[in-house]
Amino acid sequence: MTTLGTASAEPGEVDTGRLEVGETRDGSPFGLPVAVINGAESGKTLYMQAASDGDELNGVGVISRVVPRLDPAELSGTILIVGIVNYHAFQVAEHRNPVDDTKMNRAYPGNESGTSSERIAAATFEAGTRADLILDLHQGSTSRMIDEVRVRCGKRHRLYDDCLELAKAFDCGYVLDQKGPDGQLARAAPDEGVPTVDPELGGCVGWDEGSIRKGVDGVFNVLTYYGFLEGTLELNRQTRANSFEQYGAPGGGLIRMKKNLGERVTRDEVLFEVTTPFGEPKETVTADSNGILWRTRRLPQVASGEYVCSVGTDVDSY
């Protein structure tokens, strides 16, 4: 029997339930939606979670499409899932938990008697660190971004190679290999011995079907590669950025991008123009380094200094 919150499944069974974390402001208990898929055969354990950032819904799209396709009779091992992590932010379609104005993915490993976000982090960290592998499904928030997988443990970590391998198995085609900030699940869980990556599935308001499809394929790739499902998976080379450069607007106005997402950028090439509302050119911004256009803002209007785009730099492949 494998249990997560109120979900319990014997080998060959699926169950869903709630992982209670505390109470909402009206005193009602609340719980995160959880699922346990217990394979008929023994094997590894995979933990997956989505909506750690409450406006990042593509991961919820992935899980809601993956779970109905999983037959525990054909599965070796166990899958533990928290379908919606940032409960309070999800309710109001915001990025950060409105109860404590915190970004969930800076709160790991959490604290069960801490702030609202720390309590949710602690409960999901406990579930995640019972697994052999973790997928923490994210996206570039509501900005536009390529589909990629992030390796956040840092190149000197003892699980670095395992995390790189997991990112490769997921196979988005692009990997960002850069040590993440403190408090990320993909940094905290490797310290407990669990290879972890953040698939970053595009960026949109609501759902993006193309990115969701990549995420669904990624989960099945991981399940096949690590022996949860029958079959073999050939690993493909991934294009990897090892750092990032961010560009802001030198002046206010309307942005015209001169490069498409995923396109190669060479040093001194024009990335974007800022124009007046009448289309008169005001400013031109060029790339400081060679790289790949990785992410851009969604809205065309900017104030001086406002974020416009990011270029993945120091690019190689593995």
Pick between residue 56 and residue 162 the one whose CB is nearest to Zn ion.
56
Backbone angles phi, psi at 138, to 5 degrees: -125, -175
Q: Which residues neighbour 155 within 8 Å (Cβ) at sequence distance 6 or greater?
A: 177, 179
**59/77 with CB nearer Zn ion:** 59
- Show Cβ contacts of residue 58 under 8 Å, excluding neighbours closer than 6 positions: 137, 139, 201, 202, 204, 207, 208, 211, 212, 215
Residue 198 or 245 with smaller CB distance to Zn ion: 198
CB of 121 to Zn ion, least distance (A): 14
> Which among 92, 4, 94, 93 has a CA at the least distance from the CA of 49?
4
The interface with Zn ion within residues 178-207 (CB under 5 A) comprises none
Nearest CB to Zn ion, comparing residues 138 and 259: 138
Separation between Cα atoms, residue 307 and residue 249, nearest integer Å: 7
Contact residue for Zn ion among 88, 96, 138, 297 (CB under 5 A): 138
Instruction: Provide the minimum distance between the beta carbon of 175 and Zn ion in the complex, in angstroms, as a whole number.
Output: 16
**Measured distance between the N- and C-terminal CA atoms of the chain, rounded to whole angstroms:** 39
Closest separation in Å from C-beta 142 to Zn ion:
11
Answer for which of 7, 17, 49, 53 binds Zn ion (CB under 5 A) is 53
Cα–Cα distance between 135 and 76 in angstroms, integer? 18
Query: Between β-strands 133-137 and 41-50, what pairing exists: parallel, antiparallel or unpaired?
Result: parallel
Name which of 152 and 240 has its Cβ closer to Zn ion.
Answer: 152
Name the segment binding Zn ion (CB under 5 A); options: 26-34, 54-62, 109-117, 299-307. 54-62
138/240 with CB nearer Zn ion: 138
- Report, in Å, the least distance between residue 105 CB and Zn ion: 6
- For residues 196 and 185, the answer to whether their CB atoms sit within 8 Å is yes
Kindly state the number of chain residues that form the binding site for Zn ion, as judged by CB under 5 A.
3
Residue pair 151/302 in contact (Cβ under 8 Å)? The answer is no
Nearer to Zn ion by Cβ, of 150 and 240: the residue is 150
Q: Which residues contact 218 (CB under 8 A, 6 or more apart)?
A: 62, 135, 149, 170, 171, 172, 199
User: What 3-state DSSP class applies to 185?
Assistant: helix
Shortest distance (Å) from residue 95 CB to Zn ion? 8
Q: How far is the CB of 94 from Zn ion (least distance, A)?
A: 12
- Residue window 11-50: x/- pattern of binding to Zn ion, with contact defined by CB under 5 A: ----------------------------------------
- Judged by the rule CB under 5 A, the positions of this chain that interact with Zn ion are 53, 56, 138
